[in-house]
Chain A
Amino acid sequence: MKTQKNPIAAFFTSREGYLAIFVAILFVVLFFTTNLSGSMYIFLRDLAYLIAGGLALMMVIMLGEIDISSGTVLGLIGFVTGTTLKMGLPIPVVLLIAILVGMINSAVIAFITVRFRVPSMIVSLAMVKLHVGLFPLLPDAGWVSNIPSSISDVGGARLFGVIPVILLFALVLLIFFCWFMKYTRFGRKVYAVGGNKESAKLAGINSDKITFLTFLMSGALLGVTAMMYWLPKTQVIPSGTIGMEMYFLPIAVVGGVSIMGGTGRPIGILVAGILIAMLQRACLLFGLGNQYVYLSYGLIVLVAVYATVSDIKFFKQKKTVGGVS
């Protein structure tokens, strides 16, 4: 048992702390070499949906499962929400509809995974195929344009000129999950099931039920992510979301969630989310093409995962389960 440390000092000597220092240096460099301050609002707005999506993927990866359809489902939700918004439903009702659609999609994946023991990766791959096949069958290929500006103004509302309101919602969500994963019974059970399914079962935890409920929560979060992504925009283009799961996967992996399941803290999602949002902005500001964006995603995931699975002392997480030493 280690001696109790100052929580701030503990944070800066943890994995997330090192990452935070790196992100801060990158931010300063970008701030002084490019016109980051000019696009600060868009940077913060993108950060909002990246945090929500990263949390959604964190939940399933913590169980050792994966949801590759988390990218294309945003397109599906976008179509539904865009259509209902144009019909004139109030935004809170539409948010509930978005959450419902996300939960249905995740429930299908979770049901097949839990009931028939098919790897969730294969099931979600099939769901991607289903979504991609569905987009052209929707009216107008799923495009919803001419959404009234009164609605997109709500999504684009900002405080003090730079801070988007939806970012505040994302931060509230993040704080809620920090509390939820650490101090509730359900959160601890998720860590237990992710660490070792069989042991959890022997300890009296219904791991199938936990897996199903966690997938449902992830689906609800994806619904919120879709709202954050589409609300500030005036038109919905579902086919633009193909491949967007690769925005969220690096966030979850870099944020310290081990792909084997059982570790990770929601606070890491914040730091990793800032890193990915900054990377996207940097590639735009420096005028680098698509090739560098894809290359950086691929390399970041590989390096981050290699750091978690191999025995590099520097990266090795001192705290195994949920930040309790």
Chain B
Amino acid sequence: MKRKMKISYELIMFLILAALVVMFGVLTGGIFFNPSVILGTTSDIAYLGIMAMPMTFVILTSGIDLSVGFMMVSSAMVFSVVYQATGYNLLIAAVACLLSGFVFGSINGIIAAKTKINPWLITMSTMYIFQSITWFFGTSYAFSTGYAITDFGYGTIGIVPTQLIVLLLVFVVFYILDKKTTFGRYIHAIGYNEHAVNYSGVNANKMKYFVYMLMGVVCALSAMMYLGKSWQVNQTTAVNMNIEVIALVVLGGTSTAGGIGGVTGTLFAALIVGVLKRGLALMGLGGDIYNFVLGGVLIVSLIMFAYLEKKKKLVSREMAIKNMDE
């Protein structure tokens, strides 16, 4: 019963994606069916999509990470500063960037694991600390990278954009972590009941630390993709980026109460939002209306999911009562 419902939900997501593609294809007079355009829709969303994968894990543990945007921009600034200081050495810069992401994520993780403060409050205050770090790097000079990692952000292999390949790779890694390892099972368990996990002899705090640490590392990866795409970042790049990432996770059907959901839905949500963004742009409606549409869609889907979950709970309760009678 439960398995059947899960499959049908992802099918719905796929149908929405297909319907959107067909709709925009008809509305733009066939431009949208061009393979390079349709694959290119991911370039707007890939850097958000890969951040949404670990964010799914964070929300599965019934936590949240509001600091993702500024974590990404801080890592991107570390990258470009190291890159320019070492005489354009790509390898050292990439390692420094990932290391800084690891450190930022670990700060969130250690506080989340060691104290009893709510995750959103921790990450909201670290968001402001990371924002101050971006200002400490200075306001005057541009954090440009030249053309070194342009291939990473803009290039294509054959006809497929590199960004899409990175998104799919990250998805596969997180899918395996989610479905095939004990780590993934414990993450769901923490979301359902953290005390039960602790009493069954598993260190829930350690798991939480790993989840937030992964978030930081993937943010650093996303920073390199963003730099490759748009060549420069500044202090206002990441304002409200956290909402966009969380929106992808929520649209993907992950419950904000924790426990229910998975990365597959998040991937579909990312693809849908990518199509929506590019489709609106092709129709001549800019980013302004996109923000408004996304906010509206987010609120509607929040209500819808909550309603469905309530119904599901009622169904399972009725079944339990029936079983008791028998």
Which residues of A are in contact with B by a Cβ distance under 8 Å? 66, 112, 116-119, 121-123, 125-134, 136-137, 242-243, 246, 249, 253, 259-260, 289-295, 297-299, 301-302, 305-306, 309-310
Chain B binding surface, main DSSP class:
helix
Besides A130-B295, A130-B296, A133-B291, 6 new A-B residue pairs in contact (Cβ under 8 A), listed by A number: A121-B64, A126-B302, A128-B295, A246-B128, A298-B129, A309-B115
Contact of A242 with B239 in the complex, beta carbons under 8 Å = yes
Residues 106-130 of B contacting A (Cβ, < 8 Å):
111, 115-118, 120-122, 124-129
Interface string of B265-298 (1 = CB under 8 A from A): 0000000000000000000000011111111101
Known A116-B307, A249-B124, A305-B117: A295·B129 in contact at CB below 8 Å: yes
What's the Cα separation between A49 and B136 when bound, in Å?
29
Sample of 8 A–B contacts (CB below 8 Å): A123-B302, A126-B298, A128-B240, A128-B295, A132-B295, A260-B118, A295-B132, A310-B116
Contact of A301 with B135 in the complex, beta carbons under 8 Å = no
Which of B127, B136, B243, B246 has the most CB atoms of chain A within a 10 A radius of its CB?
Answer: B243
B117, B127, B246: which contacts A298 (Cβ < 8 A)? B127
What's the Cα separation between A121 and B302 when bound, in Å?
12
Contact of B129 with A129 in the complex, beta carbons under 8 Å = no
Using a Cβ–Cβ cut-off of 8 Å, how many residues does chain B contribute to the interface with A?
A: 48
What's the Cα separation between A309 and B119 when bound, in Å?
13
Known A289-B135, A298-B126: A117·B240 in contact at CB below 8 Å: no
- B60 contacts chain A at the CB level, 8 A cutoff: no
B124, B139, B239, B296: which contacts A301 (Cβ < 8 A)? B124
Contacts of B296 on A, CB cut-off 8 Å?
130
Contact of A116 with B126 in the complex, beta carbons under 8 Å = no
Contact of A66 with B120 in the complex, beta carbons under 8 Å = yes
What is the minimal beta-carbon distance from B109 to any residue of chain A, in angstroms?
Answer: 14
Contacts of A289 on B, CB cut-off 8 Å?
135, 139
Contacts of B256 on A, CB cut-off 8 Å?
118-119, 122
- B306 contacts chain A at the CB level, 8 A cutoff: yes
Contacts of A298 on B, CB cut-off 8 Å?
125-129, 131-132
B131, B291, B299, B307: which contacts A294 (Cβ < 8 A)? B131
What's the Cα separation between A135 and B114 when bound, in Å?
40
CB closest chain-B residue, reference A72: B240
- B160 contacts chain A at the CB level, 8 A cutoff: no
What's the Cα separation between A294 and B129 when bound, in Å?
6
What's the Cα separation between A153 and B250 when bound, in Å?
47
Contacts of A292 on B, CB cut-off 8 Å?
132
Contact of B117 with A129 in the complex, beta carbons under 8 Å = no
What's the Cα separation between A312 and B298 when bound, in Å?
40
Residues 219-254 of B contacting A (Cβ, < 8 Å):
235, 239-240, 242-244, 246-247, 250
Contacts of A297 on B, CB cut-off 8 Å?
125, 128
What's the Cα separation between A215 and B120 when bound, in Å?
20
Known A116-B303, A259-B118, A298-B127: A134·B292 in contact at CB below 8 Å: yes
Contact of A112 with B299 in the complex, beta carbons under 8 Å = yes
Contacts of B135 on A, CB cut-off 8 Å?
289-291, 294
Contacts of B122 on A, CB cut-off 8 Å?
302
What's the Cα separation between A203 and B246 when bound, in Å?
37
CB closest chain-B residue, reference A111: B303
- B310 contacts chain A at the CB level, 8 A cutoff: yes
Contact of A128 with B121 in the complex, beta carbons under 8 Å = no
- B16 contacts chain A at the CB level, 8 A cutoff: no
Which of A118, A249, A305, A309 has the most CB atoms of chain B within a 10 A radius of its CB?
Answer: A118
What is the minimal beta-carbon distance from A141 to any residue of chain B, in angstroms?
Answer: 9
A126, A291, A302: which contacts B111 (Cβ < 8 A)? A302
B64, B129, B250, B303: which contacts A299 (Cβ < 8 A)? B129
- B15 contacts chain A at the CB level, 8 A cutoff: no
What's the Cα separation between A302 and B247 when bound, in Å?
26
- B319 contacts chain A at the CB level, 8 A cutoff: no
Contacts of B139 on A, CB cut-off 8 Å?
289
Which of A66, A123, A131, A306 has the most CB atoms of chain B within a 10 A radius of its CB?
Answer: A306
Interface string of B26-58 (1 = CB under 8 A from A): 000000000000000000000000000000000
Contacts of B242 on A, CB cut-off 8 Å?
125
A125, A291, A294: which contacts B246 (Cβ < 8 A)? A125
B64, B115, B246, B257: which contacts A306 (Cβ < 8 A)? B115
CB closest chain-B residue, reference A131: B295
Contacts of A309 on B, CB cut-off 8 Å?
115-117
What's the Cα separation between A128 and B292 when bound, in Å?
10
What's the Cα separation between A297 and B250 when bound, in Å?
28
CB closest chain-B residue, reference A260: B118
Contacts of A131 on B, CB cut-off 8 Å?
295
Contact of B121 with A305 in the complex, beta carbons under 8 Å = yes
What's the Cα separation between A249 and B240 when bound, in Å?
17
Contacts of B239 on A, CB cut-off 8 Å?
242-243
What's the Cα separation between A117 and B289 when bound, in Å?
28
